[in-house]
Structure 1
Amino acid sequence: MSTTPQTSPTASPKQNRRKKTRAIMASGLVLGVGAAVTLAAWSDTAWGVSEFGTTGSDFNIQAHFNATEGWNEFVTKDKAGTMQFGPASKALVPGVPVYQLVGLHENKGKLGADVTIAQQSVASNALTSKVAVSIAELGGGSTPPSNCSAAATNFKPAGTLVAPTTSTTRVEKNDYKWLCFRAELAPTAGLDSAGIAPAPVFWNFDAQSDDA
């Protein structure tokens, strides 16, 4: 007759404590490795800053039409400078031209500009198709030249008051450009041109800079 050894259905308290101790130590090793990896992950960074604006690239064109008004902005039709063409401009005679000196000045000293010159009649009348306009460049310098007259040369046609053509000129940075405008009633103007009341004509000087 044999007997079978009997096994205790549960582990002893000492065995349970040893298992828990080993589990805690094992988890402690894992946590220790994780902590070591975190401490070894060094990092660094750098920053740069810049600024962008347009205050260093602005330009401004002023105009001069007569000594009384001097140099000014004249930025709208309501504030247009007076182009006088002399007293004879309101009493035109066929074949006898009248003249007007115009000055342009870039006063910021940073960029030059191309200036497009265009004219616009407020209302057409019997004269607008018979008054021819031409423009001559007289050079630079701050002093107004004295040869805006028949003595000026190199006049280029700019159309008539009713059918103007576009003209252009160049003003360098911090420089001046003087132009001589000539207006002349056609020598063929007849009696239908007599007694016409003066009417305003506007001139636009549109400056665009492409300097970089």
Structure 2
Amino acid sequence: MADTRRGMREGKRLRSRRIRALLAGGLVFGVGATMTLAAWNDSEYGSATFTAGRFDIVGATDGTTFSSHPVGTPATLSFSTPFNAMAPGNTVYALFSVRTANPSVAGTLQLSVTSTAGTGLGTYLRYGVRSIAGTTCNGTTYSAGTAVVPDNSTMATGGTGTQAVAANGGTTVNYCIAVTLPATADNGAQGLTAIQTWQVAGTSS
């Protein structure tokens, strides 16, 4: 009887050791399963800085010396003689060159009339504007140019089209302006004056 009880106790201890061993093994297996989920990581990033450009146009009356002429301080155009003593049938010419400054983005130009003042000669005068290839503005180069304002327009007439200018002063638009006192002008035009102001408006593109 005693041997039987002793055998039963030893069997219980053996089973207990086996259960503990299995539990310990399960814990080890659990740790091993968790470790297999780990991974190395790496990333790549990209960034950029954005800056707004500028748009600025400048003009020159000689095709060479460019500067800004804001409202209220227009450039003085150099018309050919006899702009200050015109007689019926006379036509006088003047150059006005416009381009973008450096730096500046590209854009387009449009010529318009700001005002016609003076003592009334403006009502007699007629004019036209053409864009020309070079900076020599006279009857010959004017005739070969591209119309911006039609010939024989009143002094209040502006251009309807636009002219492209490249960025950073890359291209120049040379406006050749021809102003005529028609041969039909009567004696009432004598001694009168006209003060004409044009505007070249630029728009970035």
TM-score category (smaller protein): 0.5 to 0.7
2:186 matches 1:190: yes
Of all paired residues, the percent bearing the same amino acid is 19
Gaps of 5+ in 1: 1-36
- How many residue pairs match? The answer is 175
Is residue 2:61 matched to residue 1:65?
yes
Judged with a 3 Å threshold, the aligned counterparts in structure 2 of structure 1 residues 186 and 120 are, in CA distance, closer, same or farther, namely: farther
SS at structure 1 position matched to 2:86:
coil
Cα offset for 1:192?
Answer: 1.2
Query: How far does residue 83 in structure 1 lie from its aligned partner after superposition?
Result: 0.8
- Kept in 2: contact 1:59–1:108 (CA 8 A): no
- In structure 2, how many angstroms separate the alpha carbons of the residues matched to 1:123 and 1:108? 34
The 5-angstrom pairing of residues 1-212 of structure 1 reads: 48-55=46-53, 58-66=54-62, 70-74=65-69, 76-108=70-102, 111-123=105-117, 125-139=119-133, 144-145=135-136, 148-152=137-141, 153-154=143-144, 156=147, 157=150, 159-173=153-167, 174-199=170-195, 201-210=196-205
C-alpha contact (below 8 Å) 2:118/2:192 kept by paired residues? no
TM-score by length of 1: 0.63
Q: Given that residues 115 and 156 in structure 2 are in contact (C-alpha distance below 8 angstroms), is that contact kept between their aligned partners in structure 1?
A: yes
CA distance in 1 between counterparts of 2:94 and 2:118 reads: 21
Moved over 4 A (4+): 40-48
SS of the equivalent of 2:52 reads: coil
Contact 2:121 2:194 in 1 (8 A): no
Distance 1:73 1:110 in 2: 13
- Matched residues in 2 for 1:137 and 1:91: separation? 26
Deviations 1:80-133 (A, max 9, x none): 111121342222222210000111222437643210001122436432222111
Contact 1:101 1:180 in 2 (8 A): yes
For residues 108 and 59 of structure 1, do their structure 2 counterparts lie closer, same or farther at Cα, with a shift above 3 Å needed? farther
More helix by percentage = 2
Q: Distance in 1 between matches of 2:183 and 2:108?
A: 34
TM-score (normalizing by structure 2): 0.65
